[in-house]
Amino acid sequence: MSERLLPDYDSVVDQLGIDDPEGLRSYVKPAMYACLNSAPDEPPLGASRFGGLPDLPAELAWPECDAGPIPFVAQVNLSGLPSSLGRELLPERGMLYFFYGCPEGDLLFPGEEDEVGGGVRVLFAETADDLSRAELPDGLDDEYGMMEESHVLQFYGCNTFVDREHPVWQRYGHEFGPDLPELSVPWGDDSPHFQVLGHPHAMQSSVCGYVTDEPLSGDPERRRDQVDWMLGLETLFQAIDAVGDCSLYFMIHRDDLLARRWDAFRWTLQCT
């Protein structure tokens, strides 16, 4: 499977004249991205997809919240990901499933789960064998918003950089010129796209800053610890500008990712 490691890190460092390229490198993370591809009426079982109905093994049930079934967002077949840098953080095989929202199809914002009757779940299956296309459960409309149409996702390697509101920007921000945003958008177009691993691509304020749920302290040591924690956050899955001018973020700390604690993810939604 081909790799597209964009942008080329060394050429960008040379172009901007960074004095501390190795220090800067710690704030660049490899990731994998995909753009939308139309799927056939019956997409192949186990393909990485956005929307439609999930391909579930018998031991995994469609997750529910108090209001009913949680809408399906996407599935990622881990064995189909490119062998690019950072790939070792994820299991070699298996399926990740992402569910988000309200049974009625309304957008769900952080903190509203109890108020509006929605939920967010990440499920993992150790194998992509013996899958079957799930049926739409009772309680979900067959036209539930963004998830109705299915799209196959083909992932490629890329590099991602911290956003301008990330606290590590204060260390290197003065060295960057107006060319920096190209580091954050390797796909180079405005169509919806998807990301696994790496730094999130923020539409508003810093995603990492938001999901930490803890203000940065004025104490230098405390602040350094918090920044280090934020640098440990990885994008478990991100649907960028794919929810009607909104981006949906599933985030997880590297320690939890390596321990396969799929219930330890944090999430948020940003809109333009």
Is 3 contained in some domain?
A: no
Is 58 contained in some domain?
A: yes
Lowest-confidence segment of 26-40, 57-71, 94-108 by average pLDDT: 26-40
Domain holding 118, by residue range, is 9-271
**Range 167-175, long-range pairs (CB < 8 A, 24+ positions):** 167/209, 167/216, 167/223, 167/226, 167/227, 167/230, 168/27, 168/227, 168/230, 168/231, 171/23, 172/18, 172/20, 172/23, 172/24, 172/27, 175/16, 175/17, 175/18, 175/19
**Sequence-separated (6 or more) residues with CB below 8 Å from residue 97:** 54, 56, 60, 72, 74, 75, 121, 122, 123, 124, 125
Joined together, the tokens standing for residue 81 give: 């990901």
Is the model's pLDDT at 173 over the cut of 60?
no
Is 214 contained in some domain?
A: yes
Is 166 contained in some domain?
A: yes
Average confidence (pLDDT) over 170-180: 52
The 10s digit of each residue's pLDDT in 208-237 is: 878 876 655 566 666 667 777 877 889 999
Is 1 contained in some domain?
A: no
Is 2 contained in some domain?
A: no
- Percentage of the chain surpassing pLDDT 90? 32
What is the CATH classification number for the domain harbouring 78?
Answer: 2.30.320.10
pTM, two decimals, is 0.85
pLDDT band for position 118 (50/70/90)?
Answer: confident
Is 4 contained in some domain?
A: no
pLDDT at 181: 44
Joined together, the tokens standing for residue 140 give: 């979900």
Is 13 contained in some domain?
A: yes
Joined together, the tokens standing for residue 97 give: 């499933």
Number of domains in the chain: 1
